[in-house]
Amino acid sequence: MLRDALLVAGRDLRIEARSKVALWQVVPFSVLAMILFTFALGPNPAALTVSAPGFFWIALLFASILATQRSLSIEGSQATRESTRLLGLDPAGVFLGKVGALVAELVVIETILVGGTVLLYHVAFRNWLLLVASCALAAIGLASASVLYGSLAGGDRVRSTLLPILVLPVVAPVLIAGSRAFVAAIGSSGDGGRWVAVLAVFAIVYSVLGIVLYGPMEEI
């Protein structure tokens, strides 16, 4: 399973490295979202700092939707799916591979967004370990839930409108727990560990669901 996962993750990341869709479309979109949030609130440094956790996570959620659509468009055609099946790859491995590649992309986007919050929203982090843990677990949870639901959403034409409706309500716990952990990382509250635990539970639940259910889904 792990060998198949590495194979699929490597393929996805190679395609991404060549096409640079994430770099030239998803990353600029997430930065643009952060700038637009600033326009909505106005140039008030205090208000921006208070709102930074929410803005960061909403920008990440929107960017993750775009990244997922891009990732699943690789598997989009029926012929590609059939080829993958004919190779005899373990469906759980395919799921983990796609999640792994998406996590790598989301980590890059998170890094840029963290830089954006420091530069644009004047946020100063006190607990970097908490921030790194929450971002890593959130990336795994977001990628697992998005790949699972994205595979359900069918072809490319339908997925672009259906995926946000299916995924955004499901990943609401990531938004809540991530924002709270972000606030704790800034130093405004001290219960960050509890929210990191919520993110860990979310990541585990959706990873397990994906490993179990991706196989039956790809039998289609």
Partner 1 sequence: MRHTLSKLLGPISAVLVILTIWLGLFVTPPDVDQGELVRLVYIHPALAVEALYASVGMAALCSALYLWPRTRSMRMDRLAASAIEVGVVFNILTLVTGSIWGRPTWGVWWTWDARLTSTALLLVLSLGYLALRRVPAEPHVRARRCAIAAIVAAVNVPIIHFSVVWWQTLHQGCTAICPGLTYKIHGSMGWTLLLSFVAFTTCFAWMVVSRYRIDVLRDSGHDGALDDALEARRSEGVPS
Name the residues that contact partner 1, by CB under 8 A.
148-149, 152-154, 158, 162, 165-166, 169-170, 172-173, 205, 209, 213, 216-217, 219-220
The helix/strand/coil state of 197 is helix
Closer residue to partner 1 in complex, CB, 92/153: 153
Q: How far is the CB of 219 from partner 1 (least distance, A)?
A: 7
Tokens representing 191 are 């219960």
Q: How far is the CB of 22 from partner 1 (least distance, A)?
A: 26
Instruction: Round to the nearest angstrom and report the end-to-end CA distance of the chain.
Output: 20
Contact present, 182 and 114 (Cβ < 8 Å): no
Closer residue to partner 1 in complex, CB, 118/165: 165
Closer residue to partner 1 in complex, CB, 70/159: 159
Q: How far is the CB of 191 from partner 1 (least distance, A)?
A: 12
Contact present, 123 and 52 (Cβ < 8 Å): yes
Q: How far is the CB of 103 from partner 1 (least distance, A)?
A: 19
Q: How far is the CB of 109 from partner 1 (least distance, A)?
A: 24
Helices (H), 20-125: 21, 27-41, 45-74, 78-86, 91-121
Tokens representing 11 are 């393929």
Closer residue to partner 1 in complex, CB, 149/182: 149
Q: How far is CA 13 from CA 18, 118, 143, 195, 211, in A?
A: 9, 28, 14, 30, 20
Q: Which residue has the tokens 């946020």?
A: 123
Closer residue to partner 1 in complex, CB, 116/164: 164
User: In this structure, which amino acid lies at residue 37?
Assistant: F
